[in-house]
Chains A and B, each alone.
Chain A
Amino acid sequence: MKFEVVDLEGGITKVTLAGRLDIDGAAAVERELNATAARNDRVVVDLSQVTFLASLGIRALVTGAKATAANGGKLLLLNPQPNVEKVLRATNVDKVMPIVRDLEEVAAVFLL
């Protein structure tokens, strides 16, 4: 499971995940994702290279979103693949973490 952090303009932190966010993938990134989310208030998690998402992966995302919210911030999910998006919507994750399609939409959500 790949985990990469890039700082973008506007104080946005982009976390890119790649691979399977399954029981093993979630275990591999959960701590680092949570730590990054807790340090920032404008976080976008790029899911475009995540090929599989199960409930422990969702738990990692929700934990991160709560950590960012504790800073008064927000965590967004960027461009999930169709099967991953289906899982997000089946669990209403999209109701607590907005799904956005591109960085323009990210900037709009953060009112940049």
Chain B
Amino acid sequence: MADGSETAWRREFVGVTGVVGSAARWLDSIVTRLGLPDGQANAMQVCLEELVSNIVRHGGVDPASAPPGPGSDAAPALAISICVAALPDRIVLTIEDNGRRFDVVQAPAGPIDAPLECVVPGGLGIQLVKSLASSLRYCRIETGNRVVAEFAS
């Protein structure tokens, strides 16, 4: 889908089983194709892992965003759409999902700031995203959540 200044890839993932690994492998293939510097590639891969695993583990499906059809009692499946756009000066990673509202930008985050005995394991994923992405934006859209993370070249 090259237009001279931008090349983009998009893929949809449905359900929760194996989604994080599938998304990671998909991104790996793009990173390899683009020949990105190791540091930039790793930052993208870590952020993808954190954002997608957060959706899968905590997001759940927002029934209001995709109600089941008439006569159906089935809950809608979790759907995650990932777009990677390569621009001359940066890579833009856009992740949309139909889960419950979760504003990653406003979510509390921070590095470990206590002695080991006081540290509760876990909860560092958002800190990693905020630390490794060059910029991070969130908006609530009609179908759910949209997070846009950019990675400068």
Interface of A is mostly: helix
Which residues in A have some Cβ–Cβ distance to B below 8 Å?
22-24, 52-56, 58-60, 62-63, 65-66, 69, 82-83, 86-87, 90-93, 95-97
Q: In chain B, residues 64-121, which have Cβ atoms closer than 8 Å to a Cβ of chain A?
A: 111-113, 115-117, 119, 121
On chain A, the residues within 8 Å of B127 by CB distance are: 55, 90-91
B109-143 CB mask vs A (1 if < 8 Å, else 0) is 00111011101011111011001100000000000
Decide if B39 is an interface residue (CB 8 Å cutoff).
Answer: yes
**Can you add 8 more A-B contacts, CB < 8 Å, to A52-B42, A91-B127, A92-B112?**
A24-B21, A53-B46, A55-B124, A55-B125, A66-B116, A82-B39, A90-B128, A96-B112
Q: Which of B53, B117, B128 contacts A23 (CB 8 A)?
A: B53
A-B CB contacts (within 8 Å), total count: 80
- How many residues in B have their beta carbons less than 8 Å from beta carbons of A? 27
Q: Are A69 and B117 in contact (CB under 8 A)?
A: yes
Q: Are A92 and B128 in contact (CB under 8 A)?
A: no
> Assuming A22-B24, A54-B50, is B122 touching A59 (CB within 8 A)?
yes
Residue of A nearest to B18 (CB): A24
Q: Are A62 and B121 in contact (CB under 8 A)?
A: yes
